[in-house]
Structure 1
Amino acid sequence: MRAMNFLVERLRRGDWVHLFPEGRVNTEHEHLRLKWGVGRLVAEPERTPTVLPYWHLGMDAALPNRPPYVPRPGQTITVLVGRPLTLAAEVARLRRRGASSREARRTVTERVQDELERLRSRAEQLHAARLAS
């Protein structure tokens, strides 16, 4: 909770924050739901921050997450950066409706998750095509 409070405060000051929205490094490449803290980071600051979604594949081939932690040059890495998500209008609607903080966090988190899933699907296709060529 202290870490999230720290991040919210940074966003209130207009700073940039970066996080693993699943709450951890996903070494098993599982489909994990995002933590609702993502929604809190977007919905709570007075000025709604812009979310820059991105998905990357192949980093674990270039620098393994398990010993030996030795870089492996020449690996294929795919990074796909999505369009910035401006959720200010949606957050404003939630506030006008008097949505609970729980509902706001869930709603915003689901929007971010939907965008990341679209990005993931496109990145996986691009990565597979790059590996095949």
Structure 2
Amino acid sequence: PRAAVIGAVGTIAKAYVSLLNTTTVHNADALHRLVSSRPPGTPLLTVSNHMSTIDDPFMWGFKGFPITDSKLARWVLTAEDICFRNVFMSYMFRLGKCVPITRGAGIYQDHMNEALEVLSTGGWLHSFPEGKVAQDHQPIRRLKWGTASLIVRAPVTPIVLPIVHTGFEKVMPEKSFFGRRPPLPLCGKEIKIIVGEPVDFDLPGLKQVAAMIPQDTSFERKGWPTITPEGLDEAAQRWLYQKMSDKIQSAMESLRKTLLNLKQH
């Protein structure tokens, strides 16, 4: 059933992105290479901005990308309140390799362990670290810490690949159809996608600095478990996740500006 669902959804995404809309992808080879031939056991974590409810799977529907291959297909973090509202939807999204995330339940919720399992087995996971859709073309917003926590907790540090896109907000506008989304994605729009270079983290060095962060009593403690073997307590983790999130956000914002410049030429 999984191969059938991913094959069908992938075919629809490909039709919309490659035929019914005009799509340009910059540096697609970098993504293609890491999806199909990265070192065995090395996980891939792609991160992108979130312009519409169809970003995934449509952002993988460009020409030449193996979107219909269920073995190569990404796992993706998805909002439980949108995609897992009933038994049928839950079943279909599960077949589509979607991991439900409960908004507001924090970075140590059970579903995050499921996402961690994808990385632990060397799989490909996609995340929208801004946490929600925004169609206003503003700079990349402050990132949620869940993505950074997965990088730190993964047994093998994943390759972190930033991607920025524009145009899906025109294909599925939030308020165009009597104040709601249109019943079907729109056609004849221009989509642009830019794939960046992997974001490198000196995790041993960052963990060393984080371990020396003094206890901060000003924030409400959430009871996070200590990360071993470094013994990183909650204060250390907060510093570490913020530092890493800032770096990913900066890489994404740089791509967004590059994409803006490309659009103007």
Corresponding position of 1:107: 243
Deviation of 1:98 after TM superposition, in Å, equals 5.3
How far residue 83 of structure 1 moved from its aligned partner, in angstroms, is: 0.6
1:91 and 2:203 are equivalent in the alignment:
yes
Mark the structure with the bigger radius of gyration: 2
Residue 5 of structure 1 corresponds to 113
Q: 71-80 or 61-70, which moves further after superposition? A: 61-70
Choose between structure 1 and 2 for higher RCO, CA contacts under 8 A separated by at least 6 residues.
1
Task: Spell out the pairing of 1:24-39 with structure 2 (5 A cutoff).
Answer: 24-31=132-139, 32-39=141-148
Q: Figure out how many residues of one structure are paired with residues of the other and give that number.
A: 127
Contact residue 164 and residue 255 of structure 2 kept, 8 A: yes
Over the aligned positions, Cα root-mean-square deviation in angstroms equals 1.8
The answer on whether the counterparts of 1:54 and 1:80 sit within 8 Å (CA) in structure 2 is yes
- Letter of the aligned partner of 1:109 in structure 2? S
Q: Which has the higher strand share?
A: 2
Cα–Cα, structure 1 residues 30 and 5, in superposed 2: closer, same or farther, change >3 Å?
farther
- TM-score, normalised to structure 2, is 0.44
Three-state SS of the structure 1 residue aligned to 2:129 is: coil
Q: Counterpart in 2 of 1:58?
A: 167
Equivalent-residue separation in structure 2 for 1:68 and 1:36 (angstroms): 32
1:98/1:114 Cα in 2 relative to 1: closer, same or farther (>3 Å)? closer
TM-score normalized by structure 1?
A: 0.83
| Contact in 2 for aligned 1:36/1:105 (Cα 8 Å) | yes
1:68 is aligned, of 182, 193, 197, to: 182
Gaps of 5+ in 1: none
CA distance in structure 2 between the partners assigned to 1:103 and 1:18 by the alignment: 23
